[in-house]
Amino acid sequence: MSEGRILIVEDDFDISNMLRIYFQSQGYEVSVAPRGEDALEMCRQQLPNVVVLDIMLPDIDGYEVCRRLRSNLRTSHIPIIFLTQKDERSDKIHGLELGADDYITKPFDVEELKLRVRNAMARATYESLTNPTTGLPSAKLIEEQLRRLMRRDDWGILYIGINGLDAFTEVYGFVAGDEVLRYTAMVIGESVDAVGTPDDFIGHVGGDDFLIITEKSLVEPLVKDLERRFSEGIGTHYDFKARQQGYIVVRDDEGNERKVGLMTLAIGVITSDDGPFTDIREITEAAAAARREGRRP
């Protein structure tokens, strides 16, 4: 099982390669970005659990990368550790003012960096800021965004689940099930990038429950785009036979067999027109009910 996803933003190949090899040996999934713009694009494609960020980069500097990550709702929660040769007090303060979580200077002790990475990820999980499987914002951050809805009158929520995930996990195992959750998170991110706005919020409520907070006018195109993207790629998670026949066979405790179709998305929609809502609990209950009933625009 992966310890988590690390994005290393470093243009020095020797350093980035050493860190990649080291953290992979510790059980982490590691991506490397040699440029700041590359790092921002990689975060849009798949959220890391922590970013180790050099300040001196060949295009935009680490401060600008940090500022952009913090100013975007989708990435504002990701822990950031600055890794740099700068050790002036003013440089450290500037990085922390921009929202960095930690700061370590070169030359560094890789064991110390590992502990700082582990602690940053543990804090985020403990504070219910992120889901450990997908890296998406979780309980506290979702609640914060829902409270903001109370002051708006143009919002829409897509409450998303995965039909057939339990049966899939029973056949292929929990590791494969987690891969489906990560795939779903990626699809949702791609769909919001293509159809939504930079201010749209994506959250992982727990289990196979996801949500998107967007503008009311974008709900319908997002639903269509999500379903298309999910169906186009979900087959790769099955073996060849299941893809060909369009179902898997699940056996119960008594040995009885039943056929379960390939996974699809279960999406329910509510908008500000379904209100008024007096608290966030009413919103979440209405969204969950909309998904159960398959309520659409």
Amino acid 97: pLDDT: 78
* Burial class of residue 246, CB neighbours in 10 A (0-12, 13-18, 19+): exposed
Amino acid 126: pLDDT: 65
Amino acid at 92: K
Q: Who's near 179: CB < 8 A, 6+ residues apart? A: 237
Amino acid 219: pLDDT: 95
DSSP per-residue codes, 280-293: HHHHHHHHHHHHHH
Pairwise CA distance, residues 123 & 145, whole Å: 20
Pairwise CA distance, residues 99 & 48, whole Å: 16
Pairwise CA distance, residues 165 & 171, whole Å: 10
Q: Cα-Cα-Cα-Cα dihedral of 32, 99, 66, 71, to 10°?
A: 120
Domain boundaries, the chain: 5-126, 139-293
Amino acid 163: pLDDT: 95
**Helices (DSSP H) in 108-256: which residue ranges?**
110-126, 139-149, 165-172, 174-195, 219-233, 240-245
Domain 139-293 fold is Alpha-Beta Plaits (3.30.70)
Task: Say which CATH superfamily domain 5-126 falls into.
Answer: Response regulator (3.40.50.2300)
The stretches in the chain having pLDDT less than 70 are 1, 86-89, 126, 128, 297
Amino acid 87: pLDDT: 64
